[in-house]
Amino acid sequence: MTTRTALLDAAEHAARTRGFDAFSYADLSRAVGIRKASIHHHFPAKADLAHALISRYRESFALSLKSICEMNETAGARLSAFLDSYRSALSGGEAVCLCVAFSTGRDSFQDPVLAELDGFHRDCLAWLENVFTQALQDKSVSGAGAADAEASACLALVEGAQLIARAARDPRRFDDATTVFRGRLVNRN
Amino acid sequence: MTTRTALLDAAEHAARTRGFDAFSYADLSRAVGIRKASIHHHFPAKADLAHALISRYRESFALSLKSICEMNETAGARLSAFLDSYRSALSGGEAVCLCVAFSTGRDSFQDPVLAELDGFHRDCLAWLENVFTQALQDKSVSGAGAADAEASACLALVEGAQLIARAARDPRRFDDATTVFRGRLVNRN
DNA sequence: CCGAACCTACCTACTAGTAGGTAATACGTG
DNA sequence: CACGTATTACCTACTAGTAGGTAGGTTCGG
């Protein structure tokens, strides 16, 4: 584990539990065990850290979506796995996904970071739209409408459910909010 | 318009567009036109301002839900008006409702504020559950399931839709995310 | 004359970021 | 192999700026 990776991990955890603006280089230095100034060696400005964080997250999320497709055949099973991944990102109701964390504090960011954030959203919506298009064929999602509308609704639902669960520090709120949607998924694989 | 009200208005605007932790007393003082120290006369600590903000918001939101019920008969029409109120709170994609804004920055708050925030959520869910229960009777929401699950999903949907719309600075994202749900509402009144 | 509302001037704590130095390690060349 | 040179990774010590908050005085209407 390199120092750089340790810094990214600590920063991601802090951003997801408290928000990107709510942790300082001093916090990071305590968490990782190097001096505050040394962090600037790895990430000269906090904006550089933000960019590294979101782009690493975007890559790993793309891999995770790919793996969901490999391990699940039907649209219903894929969406169910998608819900699971957002649910597990809550980690006990303490955290939200980095995308939600960055969305809420968007003003602090400049172009390169914003572009990456928008890219993340686009990736995610495109994947969902694909899966909902598939659902129209394989009938594994009951009452499925237009794929693009379903995709937008699905993303808003999971992000809103995360927000509410974290606000209440209770991951069951996520389950409550996604019960109806889960009921629409035909879970054969 | 009293100074106190002007302060609350400016603070609410700032909290909804940028987040509660992202504006300072110095910002407020510029917006309202009194010195920074004078704000402490009205709200000794920023926590007092937070409490005043959320409790005023909770009250006014309760009134607005009441008024929705008075002006709309069916559950479908009421939910449609509910969506409208969240949609208009976006004000061009710049803002989110205060409840979303406070949810995202929850860590900065202490008990009295958190209690008020939880109260807001409870109020909102109770109202929605009532309306969805009504929907089972008046058939004005197609495919309606258990009222509590529908209520949770609806709240997560509108909050998530606000988050996404503000992240993209584009209120149409809210419409995209709520298209499917709107399609389920039978809009006779 | 009292108190609400406001002021100037200040404080402490913390922020991101910089300047400049020190080890250790890697690298190319005679 | 040995020697000089970069480079990496870290350090101490500092800056300028901003945060929320306080002390104490002024102004003014009831």
pLDDT above 90 covers a percentage of chain B that reads 81
**Which structural domain range is residue A167 located in?**
47-184
| Cβ-Cβ contacts under 8 Å, B141 against chain A | none
Rounded to an integer, the average pLDDT of B169-180 is 96
Nearest nucleotide to A47 (CA to C1') is: C16
Judge whether residue A107 has pLDDT over 80: no
Binned at pLDDT 50, 70 and 90, residue B161 comes out as very high
Tell me the average pLDDT across A62-66. 96
CATH number at residue B109: 1.10.357.10
Determine the pLDDT at residue A178. Answer: 98
Q: Name the band, by pLDDT with cuts 50, 70 and 90, for residue A90.
A: very high
pLDDT tier at B180, thresholds 50, 70, 90:
very high
Task: Give the pLDDT band of residue A106 (cuts 50, 70, 90).
Answer: low
pLDDT (tens digit, 9 = 90+) per residue, B61-77?
Answer: 999 999 999 999 999 99
Q: Which of residues 16-55 of B touch strand C (CB under 7 A)?
A: 34-38, 41-42
Binary contact (B22, A168; C-beta < 8 A): no
- Model pLDDT, residue B109: 85
Contact check, Cβ <8 Å, A22/B105: yes
The answer to whether residue A85 sits within a structural domain is yes
What mean pLDDT, rounded, does chain A reach?
Answer: 93
- Using the predicted structure, report yes or no on whether residue A148 has a pLDDT greater than 70: yes
Statement: residue A9 has pLDDT above 90: yes
> Residue A5: pLDDT above 90?
yes
Give the B-side interface with A, CB within 8 Å.
17-19, 21-22, 100, 102-108, 117-118, 121, 143, 145-146, 148-150, 152-153, 155-161, 163-164, 166-168, 173, 176-181, 183
User: How confident is the model at residue A164, as a pLDDT?
Assistant: 93
User: To the nearest whole number, what is the mean pLDDT of chain B?
Assistant: 93
Q: What is the DSSP string of chain B?
A: --HHHHHHHHHHHHHHHH-GGG--HHHHHHHHTS-HHHHHHH-SSHHHHHHHHHHHHHHHHHHHHHHHHHH--SHHHHHHHHHHHHHHHTTTTT---HHHHHHHTGGG--HHHHHHHHHHHHHHHHHHHHHHHHHHHH--BTT---HHHHHHHHHHHHHHHHHHHHHTT-THHHHHHHHHHHHTB----
Residue B110 located in a structural domain: yes
User: Residue B188 pLDDT > 70, yes or no?
Assistant: no
Biggest CA–CA distance in chain B, Å, is 56
Contacts of B122 (CB under 8 A, 6+ apart): none
pLDDT score recorded for residue B189: 54
Express each pLDDT in B87-142 by its tens digit: 999 988 888 999 989 888 767 788 889 999 999 999 999 999 999 999 999 999 99
Which residues of B in 22-51 have their CB below 7 Å from strand D's atoms?
23-27, 36-37, 40, 44-47
From chain B, the residues in CB contact with A164 under 8 A are: 103, 121, 152, 155-156, 159
Question: Residue B34: inside a domain, yes or no?
Answer: no
Phi, psi of B168 (to 5 degrees): -90, 0
In a domain, A96, yes or no: yes
CA distance B52 to B47: 9
How far are the Cα atoms of A151, A172, B18, B99 from residue B159, in angstroms, in the given order? Answer: 16, 17, 16, 9
Residue B88 lies in a domain: yes
Q: Residue B24: which pLDDT band, with cuts at 50, 70 and 90? A: very high
Q: Which residue is nearest to nucleotide C9 (CA to C1')?
A: B37
What is the mean pLDDT of the segment spanning A162-176? 94
A40 in a structural domain: no
The structural domain count of chain B equals 1
- Indicate whether A164 belongs to any domain: yes
Q: What are φ and ψ of residue A14, in 5° steps?
A: -65, -40
Mean pLDDT, residues A19-24 taken together: 91
Would B177 be classed as within a structural domain? yes
| Res A188: pLDDT | 55
* pLDDT for res B108: 75
